[in-house]
Chains A and B, each alone.
Chain A
Amino acid sequence: MDVFMMIRRQKLTLFIDTKETSSVLDVKKMIEGITKVPTNNMRLIIDSTKQAMDDDYQTLLDCGLTSATAKAYSPVLLYLCHRKNTGGNENDWEPIDVAELSPPPPLPDVFKTDDDKKDNIQLVS
């Protein structure tokens, strides 16, 4: 069954879908195809558990991503981090850094409370 993922890093969001039997490495390769970052320099972290998907040969099911939790209209959120190339330390990863989306505008009054709805219906008729 299909698993839908939203993979975010800074200002980039990737909407990727694949089977729940695919491996973590498959997903990383799909990301590599888009971002051109090598798979060994990328780290995926599940938002809900804050667990990193470091075992490339686990399936998404093993990581807890199932078609029931990752729907098309409600994809599971994963964070992407690149390895910092400090030359020395192999385990130096960027911190999770995701740009905020724009704030929605303030709600117009018609949406505010249910009490107002009755008045609106009268206006329409």
Chain B
Amino acid sequence: MPTDTAGVTASSATPPNLYGGLEGPDSMYLKLISSDGHEFVVRRDFAVIASPTIKNMLSGPGQYSESQPNEIYLKDIPSHVLINVCRYFAYKAKYTNSSIDIPEFPIDIQVVLELLVASDFLDC
């Protein structure tokens, strides 16, 4: 197989690797799993910057066991809410410290209440 061993070697001297994976403590991506088993893969840096809860889950001293496989089970958040959360992570990462006009983040009214609960949990 091609040698795109992204993230497998912990101290890779390769330039910023576009083809990041899910392995290792410095993986480019994280997998967030909703209560109904849907898996959402997001950029690690987007999630960690937006949500202190996720950041703590990953860097806690073994208190949360999500640190190794880079998978976080969010058993209180259903998929239709988590998909909005992931969109928000990208939105926040893109428009934080931005000089251009920031467009409004559209939210479907039906998910608003549950999204509020999720954002309280994730602290973002």
Residues of A within 8 A of B (CB): 2, 4, 11-15, 17-18, 26, 29-30, 32-34, 36, 38, 71-75, 99, 101-105, 107-108, 111
Contact = CB atoms under 8 A, between A and B. Distances in A.
Interface residues of B, number: 44
Nearest to A14: B41
Contact of A73 (B38, B106, B112): B106
B110 A102 contact: no
B22 to A, nearest CB: 6
Contacts of A34: 20-22, 29, 41
A101 B106 CA distance: 18
Contact of B18 (A11, A30, A74, A102): A30
B42 interface: yes
A80 to B, nearest CB: 12
Contact of A13 (B1, B39, B43, B78): B39
Given A29-B4, A34-B41, A102-B78, A73 B19 contact: no
A102 B106 CA distance: 19
A101 B19 contact: no
Nearest to A17: B90
